[in-house]
Structure 1
Amino acid sequence: MGERNGGGGYVIAVGLAVLAALAVGHRAKDPDESYRDLGGPRALWNIPDGAELPVSPPERLEIPAVGVDAPVMRLGKKDDGSVQVPPFDKSGHAGWYRRGPAPGSRGSAVVLGHYDDLDGAAVFYDLHKIKPGARIRVLRHDRSEAVFRVDAVERIRKSEFPRDRVYGDVRYAGLRLITCGGAYDEDEHSYRDNVIVYAHLVGGR
């Protein structure tokens, strides 16, 4: 559930994935390095290389298990070097970090979305409810569709953001969805945690 402020309205999830931006461009020391060395969910340790699709930007994201059917906008970096997030007047949009891999191509594609806004639930409000095995569909600019299977879901303090797991090099077509979670920190004006969904490509057409 969303945290409420003293006036009864939903607080804004400011600071979404700010720490994530610090990891862009990070490379694992060894391309054969396993996720066991990076820690985190065991399900990420031995994902097969698998297939990949030609590079094409995402246009729409669908996650039937948690009711997501949203347009995808393109994000870059802010002046301070952190990753942009969708503006709050487009809190129903997901945002793809365009300086990284496109969903369906080899590597870790990153998509961010807000948990809530002043009016209530935003695009990734129920993301924490998704279970391993759920399917994620990404409709792409070239009119192809990339289908991903969820491998793991992680909730972690923003101060401990797992940069290697999110942005590290992988030899398969991976997808990472990021939003806010946990309790709202009144002092920081931000949720304390990030919810991260890890998935890999299992089909395309």
Structure 2
Amino acid sequence: MQQLGLASDGSVQVPPLGRDSHAGWYKYSPTPGQVGPAILLGHVDSAKYGPGVFFKLGNLRQREQVSITRADNTVAVFAIERVVEYPKAHFPTYEVYGNLDHAGLRLITCGGRFDPKAKSYEDNIVVYASLISSHPAAARS
């Protein structure tokens, strides 16, 4: 998974946009499965490439599960707690990025109305989830 840092304006970087763009992990957040909010960002779509990796993120529902294979070849399994749409102008930075006393996950993409003048979405979709289990990844053949 690609590591993301900070952009020159101090905001969190987003993964590069491409035909097969993937989600990226914000490297200043815990890795998925560690205590704290692991942050993953991905594109919802693009005019050039169509649906992105997080195209259906807003369709996730409470208690559904998301699995992430970690670099150590373990799979961290998270249960969705809630899915929230926030106006970008009022993004709750502390609520999304703030410390937790458990292993959490935040999946973030764009959403809401598309502003053709600005060529961007007006909102962000944030999925909040908590770790429920982990297990070794299946062997690849």
| More strand, by proportion | 2
| More helix, by proportion | 1
Matched residue, 1:199: 129
TM-score (norm 2): 0.90
Aligned partner (choices 187, 190, 200) of residue 117 of structure 2: 187
Larger radius of gyration between Structure 1 and Structure 2: 1
Q: Which amino acid aligns with 1:94?
A: A
1:76 paired to 2:5? yes
TM-score (norm 1): 0.63
- C-alpha distance in 2, partners of 1:90/1:80? 26
Helix, strand or coil for the counterpart of 2:18?
Answer: helix
1:107 paired to 2:31? no
Following TM superposition, by how much is the alpha carbon of 1:91 offset from its aligned partner in structure 2, in angstroms? Answer: 5.1
Structure 1: runs of 5 or more not aligned = 1-71
Q: Which amino acid aligns with 2:55?
A: Y
Correspondence list, 1:1-205, <5 A:
72-89=1-18, 92-117=21-46, 118-205=48-135
Percent of residue pairs identical: 44
CA offset digits 1:142-185 (Å, max 9, x no partner): 11111000000001111110112101111000000000111111
Is the contact made by 2:18 and 2:49 (CA closer than 8 Å) also made in structure 1?
A: no
Superposed CA RMSD: 1.1
Structure 2: runs of 5 or more not aligned = 136-141
Aligned residues between the structures: 134
Following TM superposition, by how much is the alpha carbon of 1:188 offset from its aligned partner in structure 2, in angstroms? Answer: 2.2
Q: Which amino acid aligns with 1:121?
A: P
